[in-house]
Amino acid sequence: MNRRVVVTGLGLVTPLGNDVPTSWKNIVDGISGVGPITYFDTTNYEVKIAAQVKDFDPANYMPHKEIRRHDPYQHYLIAASAEAVADAGLEVTDDIADRTSVLLGSATGGMQSFQEYSTLIYETNNPRKMTPFAIPMLVANGASDVVAITVGARGPSAPLVSACATGADTIGYAFQLIKMGRIDRAIAGAGDYPIINLGIAAFDRVGACSRNNDDPAGSVRPFDKNRTGMVFGEGAGVLVLEELESARARGANIIAELIGYGSTTDAYHRTAPHSEGIGASKAVIAALEDGGLNATDVDYVNAHGTATSLNDPSETRAIKRALGEHAYEVAMSSTKSMTGHAMGATAAMEAAFCSLAIRDQVAPPTINYETPDPECDLDYVPNTAREMQIDVAVSNAFGFGGHNASLAFRRFVG
């Protein structure tokens, strides 16, 4: 079967806002979400900045007694899922529950809870200090479970974990299940809460993080010659995907159509992308072929764009390989310049941004772009959003271990 799949609902918790309208307005306006880390004492850390979620209150989404039963990454996914379901006007009644899935991934899972309870057990050596809710808090499938229970979805429920490609792969998996006729709709996305002592220390040791602590807002510089490295972000992105006729039958508002998905592995290095972007380019090509699209159909690319010396040139080469000479005609931006890099959650956020770019016919900017890099010579929509015709948008996500995933979205035409 080859059924059409449409986006009918969006939910976001990002460093730029705790809902879709606020996050998207700040993305289009080119606002940075980066600032000093306030979650822990950074005195002994070289990295002191991150893109934290602000003024988020989980009590707005769950009873107070439930808050301590869920890890923060789950709080974000519960909130984003609630917004997406409401945006879609979706009610999972008993007659559709078996064909409704919840597929919510996480690159890091319950890192905060793991760190908290590991420290507690180490310091006290008392197993009775451990909460009975620890396992659901720690595991990567915890958010899928609680959201499935909340909405009453009885279709396949599982997370995917593919490092920073997690959000795109999870959405892609949901897309395939619907396309093949296994299910009719899915709540799909990813969430992460990596801004903790362990996360910052580990990624800084890899040498990937910006230490531009004196200028937080200007610290993330994708594709700029004077890039300083990636900055951690956090949050969640969730899409409601539906088979077209199912969405039409209930009069759902269609935001965009998800038309293709491509996934590859570099099999090259544990952390570095292939320098020529071979695997990444094949993921883009696979997404276009899956959707019956040509390279010249692409109008906008939401880049992985981490602002690292390895990713930016590699991704630029990948786009040239995938799109040929048309690469120079495509608008390509990195919204990570504003949200930071929220690990697996970022790809889900960016899938939402692509859907919104098509809806509003505007390409988000790459902020902090000042000095062109000879190795990165495409159109990165520098500093200011661009109103333009966007019929096809591609969202790229490339993760540690060589995981590559691309999603192709199209303006919906009945």
Instruction: List phi, psi (to 5°) of 257.
Output: -110, 130
Give the up-direction half-sphere exposure of residue 368: CA atoms within 13 A in the CB hemisphere: 31
Long-range pairs for 210-218: beta carbons < 8 A, 24 or more residues apart: 210/47, 210/49, 210/307, 211/46, 211/47, 211/48, 212/49, 213/36, 213/47, 213/48, 213/49, 216/32, 216/34, 216/35, 216/36, 216/49, 217/32, 217/34, 217/35, 217/368, 218/32, 218/368
Instruction: List phi, psi (to 5°) of 272.
Output: -85, 140
CA angle at 408 for the pair 406 and 414, rounded to the nearest 5°: 160
Q: Which residues contact 192 (CB under 8 A, 6 or more apart)?
A: 73, 76, 106, 107, 108, 234, 235, 236, 342, 343, 344, 345
Q: Which residues are catalytic?
A: 164
